[in-house]
Every structure is written in structure tokens, then in C-alpha cells.
Chains A and B, each alone.
Chain A
Amino acid sequence: MSGTTQPAGTRRDWLLSDTPASRAQARWGRRYQLWLAFRRNPLAVAGLAVVLAMLVLAIAAPLLATHDPGAQSLANRLQPPSAEHWLGTDELGRDTWSRLLYGGRVTLGMVVAVVILVAPLGLVVGCVAGYAGGLLDKVLMRVTDVFLAFPRLILALAFVAAMRPGVESAVIAIALTAWPPYARLARAETLTIRNTDYIAAVQMTGASPWRIIWKHVAPMCLPSLTVRVTLDMSSIILTAAGLGFLGLGAQPPIPEWGTMIATARRFILEQWWVPVIPGLAIFTASLAFNLLGDGLRDVLDPKQR
């Protein structure tokens, strides 16, 4: 931002200016407006704060962990929270707080990987199908339907079972089952966008279909896709945890929230905190992503913005 050249205190004016003097100013101004609108929703801001905090905790795990997440100490198994072990220990005497931090890396990492794989694929398939119409649309949508027809966890199970269980397989399996809704959504948006006058005007510049899809249609689909992705994050976390729980995701001794619950589930009655703590982490992350998504929807969805 070149706001530094302005007298102090006017950066806000620069951003809110009705007469921006450069592309960058116009762009930042629009983003700032969106941020102002987003900030008005306290729940969404809370969701964003929690998501960011979790990401920071996961990234800084080596600095914040009090113990080696893999170090076993059978003499200290199933300890309740204490000064030595903040969140207690698991059935092999490993420190739960440290495992939770490292587990966040795996779980949140899986979520991010799934989104990176899924969102662009869904966007491309949906926009191309919607814009091209005709045979291409039919073929792409039938393929989408085939994937959509399988229950998510079942297809992921079958896929992981066919491959080697592990984090990578789980990510690919979830991605395979997660993209069709995005394609459907992008296609639906494209169908309405395609018939607008502003796209007709772009067609009249003589631009190629690819250029129109990339530069003019896809950016209009992005907001609703972003919202959908954020709202889906929680279900991706749950699927990842579910696979972990069933022993088909991350393999021990890798700490992953779902796997942590799975291995500790026998202690739910006597040492309830051992499975409950990773459960709470999953719950908090899911809730935070949902609140964030709801807030984003309010800000991004009104078409006039």
C-alpha cells in the first residue's frame, strides 16, 4: 500500500476514497470495505480468530510443545491434567498437550491439502461445464454425478482400503469425494453469469472462451465457492478424523485428532479426559470454520458488492 506517503491517520480515508487513483487503491479499497462489513459480525470475527489461533499453534508446535509427542512413559499413563502434563497423558504415557499441537499439524494440514486439491478442480470443472454447455456439460456433469452418488465416507473407505492406509491416501480419498459439490455450485453460478450482459459484452470483444471463463466468469464464482469451502472445512475435518478413528487415516504413532480419539475410546468412562480433549479440539475447529463461513457468506454473497 502506498498509504505511507499520506499524512498519518488518513490511510482509512485513502482506502475508503470514492475516487481511487490507481488499480491497487481501488482493489484495496474494496477489500477494506469487505473487511469492515465482516468486522460487524462478532461471531464471524471470533471464528476467524480461533481458526488463525489454531493455525499458529499448529505451525509453532515445536516451540510450544512441552514434551516429545512420541515419547512414551508407561509409568505415567493416563494421568489427569497436572503442572507437568497440562492436558494429562494417554494410554502410553505420552503428553496429550504436545500430541494435540502436533496432531493439529496433521489434521489441519490434511484439511488444507484437501481444499487445495478440491476447490480449483471443482471450479474448473463447474465453470467449463456451465459455460460450454452441450455435450461437454453433459459428460462432465455425469462424471460429477457418479462421484456424488457415493456416500463420502464409504468411497473414501474403499479407496483407502485399496491403497496403503496413511495421511496421503486419506487426503486423496477425501478430495475425490469432496469435489463434486463444488463443481455443481460453480456450474450453477456459471449458468446465470453466462447469460448476463456483461459477459455478452466481453464476448463482443472477441475474447476466447478460455479467457472469458478465467478472467470474467471464475472470479464471480469464487465468493460462493469460498463460503462453501469454509463451511465444508468442518465436514472435511470430521471425515479425516473419522478415517483416523477407523484406522484408515494417519497411522500410529503419528498424532492425529481422530486417531487420538480412536485409541483412547476405551477410557471414556474412567479417564474421560483422554478422548474428550482431542474431541474438543475437533469440535472447536469445526465450529470456528462454520462461524467463519457464515460470516463470509453474509459479506460475500450479496451480488451487488
Chain B
Amino acid sequence: MSNGNLVEIRDLHVDFPNPQGFTPAVRGISFSMGREKLGIVGESGSGKSVTGRALMRLLPEAARVRAGALRFDGTDILAASERQMRGLRGGRIGLIMQDPKYSLNPVMTVGAQIAEAWRAHNKGSKREARDAALTLLEQVKIRDPGRVLDSYPHEVSGGMGQRVMIAMMLAPNPDLLIADEPTSALDASVQAEILKLIEDLVSARGMGLMLISHDLPLVGRFCDRVVVMYAGQVMEELPARDLHRAQHAYTRGLLDCMPSLSQKRDRLPVLTRDAAWLEKRA
């Protein structure tokens, strides 16, 4: 059943075990996405990262995952074999995480890591892999790719590290890029550059992008469509350009409570959490 949707999620539930039973993290969310830029926004604990990980089956084994449908390009993620999943993860789905410091191997050169990622999903000699790595570094707009290729992760800055991560994820030519808070650890100036880069690459290669973030305005700027999550459920789903016309009180509250440089306010409006938001939604 491939109706052009890259990702189809229907009634996804994820629970984590606790000493007393199970704590729900995702409580029945549904959405689908094609080759577009989808933003998933929510505060910590809203289940946004868990959703991304469920799609790659990267959750701890103790977690209980149930869904009406959890499909990537027609593949049933819940029923797929571990072998199939390995082909998806880092093959057809790339994952960029928050801090490159922790997601890069500290004792391997940047070039070796990218080459390894390339060779895992392409056939070719060491020589070819190295050339591919160099090309990828150029694509992520690293100025001196030859030098970066032979440096270790601790020798590059945070922004550069994130570019390297992106290059690694692009190596197998994926169909979907999941970026989980890709710029939260970076300075604002670098943040904008990295997101611009991701946006350009995704558009140029016709990939899907799932941008998971707590930063609503940021997601609004870089995505086509935004899914707003709260307490494991989807509150609202809307085109990014309509963000300032959001209907749901939660979305409005999130947008409103940020301090602003352009208008002065003595007090910031505080988000009052409506108990009704927690109720089970159809």
C-alpha cells in the first residue's frame, strides 16, 4: 500500500515501563508525510523524539510500541526484520541528532567515518569511498574539505561537526532525513546556516525531512507543514505559513510566551495548560 506517502503513522502508542506499570509517552498519534519538510514541535516530554525513534525502531527494547500502522514507504516497521531495519536505518532514513560531539566516533577521522557510512550502502573501493567523502564534505559547504577529511571530531567546531554528521547521513542517499533538534547545541548564527543547508540539500535531492524541535518559530521558518504535539498527542497540524494564525490555544500560547525584541512587554503571558488537552482525542 504505497499511496505516495513516505511515512504513514496511524494511532501510534509508545509506553515506557516504570516500577508500577507503564508510562505512556505517545498516546495515539496519526499523520503521514510525503517528500516534504515536516516539522514536529512540542515541549520536552511531548513525545516528539520518541515518535521519530519509533519510526527507526531505535527505542529501548523494554518500550511497548503499538500502532494501527507504522509504515515507511510501504514497509511495515513493526513487522520488519532486523535485517530490513538495518537497510532502512542509515540507508534510506538518515538521523541527525542534537550534539555532534556525542554522535561522532572520537577515535576515527571524519573522513573515515563518512567513507564507512558510504561503503555500508554503496559498493566501491577505499579510494572511491574517500572521494565520495570528499564530495559529500563539499556538498555540506565545508570550506577546506581536504583538511577536514583527515581531522578528528574534537578538532572541528560544533557547527562543522554537525555538517559532518549531515554529510555522513547523506552518504547512502536516503529518502528521509530525521533531524532531532539538530541545532539546539549551536549558536544562533550557526543554527541558521545549518538549517539553511539542510533545507537546500533536502530540496535539491527531493528527500523528505522530519525536523523535530522545541522551537516553533524556527520550525515554522524551515518547514512546509507543522505538527504540534503535547503530552503524547497531536494538538494541531497546519501549514507552516499559517502558523501565526494557529487555532489551538496551546500553539498560540507557545508562540505568545516568548520574549520579543520588537515589542516590549512587562510580563510574559504564561501558558495555562488546559486539562482538556490531555483528554484522549479521536
A and B: real partners? Answer: yes
Quick check: is A16 within 8 A (CB to CB) of the other chain? yes
- A interface, size bucket: under 10
Quick check: is B20 within 8 A (CB to CB) of the other chain? yes
Name the residue on B nearest A36 (C-beta).
Answer: B19
B190 CB to nearest A CB, Å: 25
Q: Is the interface of A mostly helix, strand, loop or mixed?
A: helix
Inside 8 A of B19's CB, which chain A residues have their CB? 16, 33, 36
Bound state CA distance, A36 and B20, in angstroms? 11
Instruction: Mark B12-34 against chain A: 1 for CB-CB distance below 8 A, else 0.
Output: 00000001100000000000000
Name the residue on A nearest B20 (C-beta).
Answer: A16
A31 CB to nearest B CB, Å: 14
Name the residue on B nearest A40 (C-beta).
Answer: B19
B109 CB to nearest A CB, Å: 28
Inside 8 A of B20's CB, which chain A residues have their CB? 16
How many residues of chain B have a CB within 8 Å of chain A? 2
A20 CB to nearest B CB, Å: 16
Bound state CA distance, A33 and B18, in angstroms? 11
Instruction: Mark A160-181 against chain B: 1 for CB-CB distance below 8 A, else 0.
Output: 0000000000000000000000
Which positions 69-124 of chain B face chain A at CB distance < 8 Å? Answer: none
Bound state CA distance, A16 and B19, in angstroms? 9
Which positions 26-63 of chain A face chain B at CB distance < 8 Å? Answer: 33, 36
Which positions 1-42 of chain A face chain B at CB distance < 8 Å? Answer: 16, 33, 36
Inside 8 A of A36's CB, which chain B residues have their CB? 19
Bound state CA distance, A36 and B19, in angstroms? 8
A29 CB to nearest B CB, Å: 11
Name the residue on A nearest B19 (C-beta).
Answer: A36
Bound state CA distance, A222 and B19, in angstroms? 25
Inside 8 A of A33's CB, which chain B residues have their CB? 19
A75 CB to nearest B CB, Å: 61
Bound state CA distance, A156 and B181, in angstroms? 57
Bound state CA distance, A261 and B19, in angstroms? 47
Bound state CA distance, A109 and B20, in angstroms? 40
Inside 8 A of A16's CB, which chain B residues have their CB? 19-20
B218 CB to nearest A CB, Å: 27
Bound state CA distance, A16 and B20, in angstroms? 9
Instruction: Mark B221-254 against chain A: 1 for CB-CB distance below 8 A, else 0.
Output: 0000000000000000000000000000000000
A198 CB to nearest B CB, Å: 21
Bound state CA distance, A126 and B123, in angstroms? 53
Bound state CA distance, A16 and B21, in angstroms? 13
Bound state CA distance, A161 and B187, in angstroms? 66
B37 CB to nearest A CB, Å: 35
Bound state CA distance, A270 and B19, in angstroms? 55
B41 CB to nearest A CB, Å: 27
Which positions 21-75 of chain B face chain A at CB distance < 8 Å? Answer: none
Bound state CA distance, A290 and B19, in angstroms? 26
A268 CB to nearest B CB, Å: 48
Which positions 247-269 of chain B face chain A at CB distance < 8 Å? Answer: none
B19 CB to nearest A CB, Å: 6
Bound state CA distance, A74 and B212, in angstroms? 83
Instruction: Mark A98-114 against chain B: 1 for CB-CB distance below 8 A, else 0.
Output: 00000000000000000
Bound state CA distance, A81 and B20, in angstroms? 50
Bound state CA distance, A183 and B20, in angstroms? 39
A224 CB to nearest B CB, Å: 23
Bound state CA distance, A36 and B17, in angstroms? 14
B156 CB to nearest A CB, Å: 24
Which positions 86-145 of chain A face chain B at CB distance < 8 Å? Answer: none
Name the residue on B nearest A37 (C-beta).
Answer: B19
Bound state CA distance, A247 and B33, in angstroms? 78
Bound state CA distance, A33 and B19, in angstroms? 9
B84 CB to nearest A CB, Å: 32
A261 CB to nearest B CB, Å: 45
Which positions 241-256 of chain A face chain B at CB distance < 8 Å? Answer: none
Bound state CA distance, A33 and B20, in angstroms? 11
A14 CB to nearest B CB, Å: 14
B196 CB to nearest A CB, Å: 34
A18 CB to nearest B CB, Å: 10
Task: Provide a sorted-by-A list of 4 A–B residue pairs whose CB atoms are within 8 angstroms.
Answer: A16-B19, A16-B20, A33-B19, A36-B19
Task: Across the A-B interface, give the 4 residue pairs with the lowest CB-CB distance, nearest first.
Answer: A36-B19, A16-B19, A33-B19, A16-B20
